[in-house]
Amino acid sequence: MERYKLDDFEQRCIQDELPYCQAACPLKVDVRAFCGAMAQKRFDAARKILARSMPLPDIIGRICDHPCQDACILAQKGGAISIGKLERACLENSKEMGMILRLPSKKLSATVYGAGLSSLSCAIELAKKGYQVSMVFDGEIPGGRLLMFPQEVLPQEVLVTTWQNLQRMGVTRSFEKDPISYGLKEGSALYVGVDDPEWTHLVDANDVDPFTYQTSTKGFFAGGYPRSDMPSPIWESADGKRAANSIDRYFQGASLMSGREKEFSLETKLYTLLEGVPTLSPKDDPIEEAKRCIRCECRYCVRECVFLEKYKGYPKIYARQIYNNFAIVRGSHSANKMINSCSLCGLCEVLCPNDFSMADLCRFAREQMVERKIMPPSVHEFALLDMEHANSPRSSGFRSGAKTTEAVFFPGCQLAGAMPDQTERVANFLGEMFDGKMGILLGCCGAPAWWASRQDKVEEVIKSIEKTIESLGNPTLIMACSSCNEVFKNFIPKVSRVSLWQVLLERGIPEAKPAAETLALHDPCTTRHEPEWRESVRKILRILGQPYEELLFGGETTRCCGYGGLQLMADPDLAHEGVLRRLKESENDFLTYCAMCRESLSGSGKTVFHLLDILFPPSAGKVRLGYSKRQQNRELLRVKLLGPCDLPPEPWDDLPISVSDAVREKLEDRHILDSDIKQTLWEASSTGRYLISPDGTRLASSRIGNVTFWVEYREDNQSFAIINAWSHRMVMELMS
């Protein structure tokens, strides 16, 4: 992964952008953290947070004109946080911070003119950096206009202590009156704070750079100009601090401007959702008021995605972790699992105000892993083998229409596997509608290979499909599955496609009895950018009189069922968590129009209908079938719709096995197919090699592809009763 690619991804995620209050503060005080500390009554910690950005928290905290408050988005929810009041409360309740740390002394010196807040701020900041600072001001102590504040607002002792602290830091007093005629010595700089009226005459406001605060005379800086009719203590202080930063750069011979965008900008790109935030009016008690702060952040995508939530960060951090995953030379590629667990569903991109796409990032990372041969071989192998099965002559094939081929029905491998009878009935129904002008194409579209970033395999599948379509005279494909649609849209966009639902709307809907109860409508994630698909389904439901409920996260913001992107293969627990979260969104049973969604969402406490379950009601119940059954179904459907294939059956095909529900569940979790079991049993029978236990059960083993399977079974007259099965990928060799 190249650096520029990382930067591009990182820049899109706005979670690290400053909260609105902090962005609006010229000193960039971390108001969010400050409110957090105040809410916990940690006054000393809160004071430290102020001191991190404020040159003189004891003064500014008491008189701050808090532009942050105007930026607080809680103004829309009962009222902005009274941050100014909280600052005061913090200072009144916290202890003095003691000595301020100072960098080792430098020989370079600066003279600071004026007694106002900008001059004091500039002086303390330069002193902290180790420069020799002398101040020129009138009166006993510096303060200027600050001395006019009422005692209860800004006690004079605070100003006395401030001057004492400055002196302790090495700041001296000078009585040099005219900086210009005095001239600038080498290795020195000066600052004039015009917020002290005494010194305003020394500088022409038009001669001062508004960002660097330098005048046309090098080394001569000025700040503290009023920005409105009212004096602004926070801006005066910010001017002094920023000018001190410029003087520091000037002394170091560095650019006065470069890399200071964040220091100057008052903008933020942060996006904080206020949905669900209670409306509360401001509280008198500062602690209660601080508790109202919602600690603005984005994390919108994270909140709405089990995958993004699981890794405890946010996209910007994930982009960095993925970058590092490729940068390591030795050690573990610790982000592999994360990269492979994204469902590639695209919800984050739709939610993100800046269109950050975790799908793009993870897809790109997967491509790199495959290219560099570091993709863990076990993650996608099972799904890819299932795809191979769906595209083997036993499950796939095509036929043209009896007369011509205007259209071709492409049910997709999941519908064919999960709902073979209904697929057959749809094929027959459409066949009649098209009056001998519709062909059929069975097989997998290549989605699993695309999700696994196996470009070679996608191309192989797509080329074969393209060739078939061409040989049929480029008819329109009638698509039942939106995932297949997404694949074709991406790889063979020129091929004409139409959704099964659109065709039914146009040609006629079968007579059907809707379910009596209201069903929660789950849009498949691959219809996110297919409004016509979604609308066709809704039209059918309305025509049928099927009551349905729109989910809050439906349509363009629908969620994935956990199968997308092969999430289920990389992290089955996460996929299951996503299913449970989805099902919790409604009290009702669910309705979808993707066979894989129905399969994934089923079996977790709710009945999940496919639209075809309503249009072509099944004879049996709507249950989860599992991998083996789906493979068998595809083969049977192939025979029914296209006739038997040319391949001879495998010798173990007809071995009778019986599997209890409990064992079946284990086989599914462990990705062990009936065909693996039968082949293992057949090999054991043929070679006579197996193990026997005292109670007569047997244990057979067979290496099939990259996996060694173990099957524990009992043989009776009629069948092999499967007791247990497991597998591993390591290969064992006896040492002599």
Virtual CA dihedral for 539, 541, 547, 549, nearest 10 degrees? -70
Of 269, 447, 417, the closest CA to residue 345 belongs to 447
Q: How far is the CB of 655 from another protein (least distance, A)?
A: 18
Member of 332, 619, 717, 718 binding another protein (CB under 8 A)? 332
> Binding of another protein at residue 690 (CB under 8 A)?
yes
Stretch that binds another protein, among 74-82, 153-161, 373-381, 609-617 (CB under 8 A): 373-381
> Binding of another protein at residue 187 (CB under 8 A)?
no
Nearer of residues 98 and 331 to another protein, judged by Cβ: 331
Member of 246, 268, 336, 391 binding another protein (CB under 8 A)? 336
Query: What's the rounded Cα separation, in Å, for the pair 41 and 36?
Result: 9
Query: What's the rounded Cα separation, in Å, for the pair 262 and 27?
Result: 11
> Binding of another protein at residue 584 (CB under 8 A)?
no
In this structure, are residues 342 and 309 in contact, taking their beta carbons and an 8 Å threshold?
A: no
Distant-in-sequence, close-in-space partners of 495: CB < 8 Å, separation ≥ 6: 466, 469, 474, 477, 488
Q: How many CB atoms sit inside 10 A of residue 619's CB?
A: 6
Nearer of residues 467 and 703 to another protein, judged by Cβ: 703
In this structure, are residues 139 and 217 in contact, taking their beta carbons and an 8 Å threshold?
A: no
Member of 694, 696, 716, 718 binding another protein (CB under 8 A)? 694
> Binding of another protein at residue 341 (CB under 8 A)?
no
Of 666, 710, 705, 707, the closest CA to residue 684 belongs to 710
> Binding of another protein at residue 664 (CB under 8 A)?
no
> Binding of another protein at residue 708 (CB under 8 A)?
yes
In this structure, are residues 616 and 418 in contact, taking their beta carbons and an 8 Å threshold?
A: no
Q: How far is the CB of 447 from another protein (least distance, A)?
A: 23
Member of 105, 255, 378, 686 binding another protein (CB under 8 A)? 378
> Binding of another protein at residue 377 (CB under 8 A)?
yes
Site for another protein in 229-258 (CB under 8 A): none
Query: What's the rounded Cα separation, in Å, for the pair 667 and 684?
Result: 19
Characterize the bridge pairing of strands 519-521 and 589-592: parallel
Nearer of residues 278 and 694 to another protein, judged by Cβ: 694
Member of 206, 688, 696, 716 binding another protein (CB under 8 A)? 688
> Binding of another protein at residue 714 (CB under 8 A)?
no
> Binding of another protein at residue 354 (CB under 8 A)?
no
> Binding of another protein at residue 370 (CB under 8 A)?
no
Written as one letter, the residue type at 643 is: G
Stretch that binds another protein, among 57-65, 239-247, 556-564, 691-699 (CB under 8 A): 691-699
Of 79, 161, 65, the closest CA to residue 120 belongs to 161
> Binding of another protein at residue 733 (CB under 8 A)?
yes
Stretch that binds another protein, among 132-140, 228-236, 268-276, 371-379 (CB under 8 A): 371-379
Nearer of residues 177 and 689 to another protein, judged by Cβ: 689
Stretch that binds another protein, among 55-63, 330-338, 385-393, 641-649 (CB under 8 A): 330-338
Written as one letter, the residue type at 134 is: S
Encode 128-173 in three state secondary structure: HCCCEEEEECCCCCCCHHHHHCCCCCCCHHHHHHHHHHHHHCCCEE
Stretch that binds another protein, among 20-28, 72-80, 450-458, 725-733 (CB under 8 A): 725-733
Q: Hey, CA dihedral for 34, 38, 41, 44, is it positive or negative?
A: positive
> Binding of another protein at residue 696 (CB under 8 A)?
no
**Strand positions, DSSP E, 274-364:** none
Using the structure block, give the residue that is written with the tokens 């500014």. 60
* Interface contacts to another protein, rule CB under 8 A: 331-334, 336-337, 376-379, 670, 688-694, 698-699, 701, 708, 710, 724, 726-735
